[in-house]
Amino acid sequence: MDVLGVEEIQLSGNAARLQAIINVEAFEPPPFSFDPGEAPGEIFGANVFTLAEMRLRLPKSVFKSVVATIDKGAKLDPAVADAVASVMKDWALSRGATHYAHVFYPMTGLTAEKHDSFLDPVGDGTTLAEFAGKTLIQGEPDASSFPSGGLRSTFEARGYTGWDVTSPAYILENPNGNTLCIPTVFVSMTGEALDYKTPLLRSQQAMGAQAERILKLFGHKDFDHIVSFCGPEQEYFLVDRHFFLARPDLINSGRTLFGAKPPKGQEFDDHYFGAIPDRVLGFMMDTERELFKLGIPAKTRHNEVAPGQFEIAPMFERANIAADHQQLLMTTFKTIAKKHGMECLFHEKPFAGVNGSGKHVNFSLGNAQFGSLLVPGDTPHENAQFLVFCAAVIRAVHKFAGLLRVSVASATNDHRLGANEAPPAIISIFLGDQLADVFDQIAKGAATSSKGKGTMIIGVDTLPELPTDPGDRNRTSPFAFTGNRFEFRAPGSGQTINVPMIILNTIMADSLDYMANVLEKAVADGEGFDEAVQKLLTEIITEHGAVVFNGDGYSDNWQIEAAERGLPNLKTTLDSIPQLVTPEAIEVFEKYGVFNARELHSREEVRYEMYALTVNVEAKLTLEVGSTVILPAAIRYQTELAQNVAALKAAGVDADTTLLSTVSAPISELTAALTALKTALGAHGGDTGKEEAEHAASLLPLMDAVRAAADTLEGVVADDLWPLPTYQEMLYIL
Ligand code: ADP
Ligand code: MG
């Protein structure tokens, strides 16, 4: 039984459509789990084994050691691990946990968990709750069911998980029992990364170390590690679950493979500015409550551009925690949407012709003491430091645009990226008018040194005060400066933010390293520091300024201009994947210890595999739904029309056969397109992952042809015979 009191069976076509409409009308939201006596924020982090909780429970010295591991990156002492495990177990048991799970992020981009009971039999017929430090810091799930991209063929199937001390353990509640979840890395026997967290932590460390060199040059002493921060804005769609269940394409591929454009699209913008529907608000309040309990700081929520589309933005956090929280957020959304009789869609393009969903990755670097290092600051000195970090971003994005592009490439995001209403596949930076002007001056050398009264004022010192929040936001740019951070808008709504963060950290490490080398040498050579900064900024903006673009990223002109500027325009996933293993990519990843060449090749392999899998499933679904759902409905209607023509003729009435031909023509097209798709699907895909992926890509136009004929039919077949919920229904009935 679902929440609407209706069996969740797949009702046949038209019946499902009507049933869904009736149920949406009759919908009673589930009771809201809010206790009016509760103080605001009281539940925040209630299910998290926080530092505060640890401080309460651990001896002072042990607690200090844990904090040092988190803040200074010190190694976790095994004796400390034992002490932590013991209090963590007590806390978890007191919160009703019966099991613990090492949670990790395999290369599929999903979340994996291996659950174990706390209870160990002790031989006298009883059990004892055991949880040693060793168990906390290391687990051994069988790695064979996760893709390894060839890393496994030479090593045994075993994989190891290890606790990420910087990401707190938490309790996941379930009506059937609670589980203590421990965020972990997942590596092979030889320490090669089989997951996303390992390289993220490695890249974080590399970036931090280089950023710290720059800060020291600016005279800072004794500060905590510099980390990257990330605030991921998540866009998603909600559809009524009855429509969802009547859509085999949505169930199995997350997007509609069929569906004509609705008469009313998003042109009115009435959804974006409208109030959040009650039903959705109920869902949002419920999810936020769950997120709060898990210590996830959900902050803003609103409608998005498309009907049925919404957004949530949690407060930014340290990148690895933000990434863990992001995965948890998606799981929570899926679960709670079901409770509210809806399905939450994270596909990048669930509805063709309607706005797609992204995940805007807001990126900055800094620490608690400095805040974001991408804040312009009040004094000229701070401005100069800010400009150095900003220039590092410009250099990184220009030099490694291909890596940023591949960080967001997937079969599903291909329907959004590079398409009309989404950020283009060209990676460029939007700086805003004021900051762009500052860099223009720096490039022209106009802002180099000018003599002020009595004191030497270096160009950077005379730069105008920078606004902390530039008003104009360019929504067409894939990478925009937004006052105290850069917003990377190309990531897809369903993807993990680990990958873009790994790439950003690594390429920033490269830039900061380069800049620190130049500045350290200048200082050693006795050059003035301010002059050296000035010279370096001019050099960087001259060499890498081509990546800065403040215009309309959606215009055709930009495609031409970008080519003239020599910026890569990698339109598809298959165009992008080779970027992972170019000599420059391998060099930069190896240099900063983020990936070795083998790990990169394994990721390349997994990318091809995932691409081929995704497209093949869609192609098979297109064939199946086209042949068994749409074609039969169309033929039924065709028969009805033919019988009508025959009956009229028999009665001696002049029969108009126009309508019959209007239906017969797309039926022939559909039949032909299905045959072509079937033949192509039957062909051998290839011997390597790359060949299989290329074969899969060749199916896409054939699927489009099937869809075109089917969507034409949707416009002519009698509505009571049409089996699939329409765009209109799915998007507007909530
Ligand atoms: P908008 O819709 O205007 O882009 P939102 O409030 O929806 O803004 O989302 C902004 C996101 O950026 C939030 O997740 C926020 O926490 C994050 N953010 C703010 N400051 C920083 C920062 N310094 N570093 C990283 N992320 C940040
Ligand atoms: Mg936003």
Q: State the closest ligand 1 atom to the C-alpha of 366, by its place in the atom list counted from 1.
A: 23
**How far apart are the CA of 276 and the centre of ligand 2, in A?**
15
Mean pLDDT, contiguous 10-residue spans, the chain (734 residues): 44 65 74 69 90 93 89 79 92 92 85 82 77 83 76 65 89 88 86 90 96 96 93 95 91 96 68 72 90 90 84 94 95 93 96 92 95 84 89 98 97 85 83 84 62 38 51 75 93 95 98 98 94 93 95 88 95 96 98 96 95 97 97 96 95 92 97 98 92 97 98 94 91 85
pLDDT at site 508: 98
Report d(CA 461, CA 440) in Å as an integer: 16
229 three-class SS: strand
How far apart, in whole angstroms, are the C-alpha atoms of residue 541 and residue 483?
19
Q: State in Å: Cα 312 to ligand 2 middle.
A: 8
Q: Residue holding tokens 């590092």? A: 392
Which atom of ligand 1 is closest in space to residue 302's alpha carbon? Answer: 7
Pocket test for ligand 1, best of 291, 357, 481, 485 (most atoms within 8 A of CB): 485
Would you tell me the crossing angle of helices 529-544 and 433-444 to the nearest 10 degrees? Answer: 110
Tell me which DSSP letter residue 502 carries: H
Cα–Cα nearest to 266, from 716, 614, 717, 731: 731
Contact 240, 734 (CB under 8 A): yes
Inter-residue contact 460 to 541 (CB < 8 Å):
no
**Which of 226, 233, 497 is the pocket-test mutation for ligand 1 (most atoms within 8 Å of CB)?**
233
What one-character DSSP code corresponds to residue 581?
A: G
Q: Looking at the CA of 300, which ligand is closest? A: 1
Nearest ligand, measured from the Cα of 504 = 1
Query: How much is the pLDDT for 725?
Result: 92
3-state secondary structure of 191: coil
* C-alpha of residue 362 to centroid of ligand 1, in Å: 6
Ligand nearest to the CA of 322: 1
Nearest in space to 203 (alpha carbons), one of 582, 580, 589: 589
What pTM was computed for the model?
Answer: 0.91
Task: Give the binding-site residues of ligand 1, using a 6 Å CB cut-off.
Answer: 229-231, 233, 300, 313-316, 362-364, 372, 484-485
Ranges of H-type helices in 362-416: 380-399, 401-407
Residue from 362, 370, 493 whose mutation best tests the ligand 1 pocket (most atoms within 8 A of CB): 362
C-alpha of residue 326 to centroid of ligand 2, in Å: 15
**Rounded Cα gap, residues 478 and 427, in angstroms:** 6
**How many angstroms is it from 117 CA to the middle of ligand 1?**
39
The pLDDT value given to residue 451:
35
Residue 710 · residue 670 · CB < 8 Å: yes
**Confidence at residue 7, expressed as pLDDT on a 0 to 100 scale:** 47
User: Tell me, what's the pLDDT at 142?
Assistant: 74
pLDDT at 71: 76
- The neighbour count for residue 162, using CB atoms within 10 Å, is 20
Using the mean position of ligand 2's atoms as its centre, give its distance from the Cα of residue 359 in Å: 10
Q: How far is the CA of 4 from the centre of ligand 1 (A)?
A: 36
CA of 313 to the centre of ligand 2 (A): 7
pLDDT of residue 4: 42
Question: Is there a contact between 581 and 661 (Cβ–Cβ < 8 Å)?
Answer: no
Tell me the C-alpha distance between 12 and 674, whole Å.
22
Query: Which has the closest alpha carbon to 45: 216, 307, 291?
Result: 291
Closest atom of ligand 1 to 313 CA is 14
Q: Based on the number of CB atoms within 10 Å of its own CB, is 123 exposed (0-12), middle (13-18) or buried (19 or more)?
A: exposed
Q: What is the position in ligand 1's atom list of the atom closest to the CA of 375? A: 23
From 316, 325, 393, mutation site for ligand 1 pocket: most ligand atoms within 8 A of C-beta? 316
d(CA 66, CA 68): 5
CA atoms within a 13 Å half-sphere pointing along the CA-CB vector of 534? 22
Distance CA 480, CA 430 (A): 4
pLDDT at position 221: 92
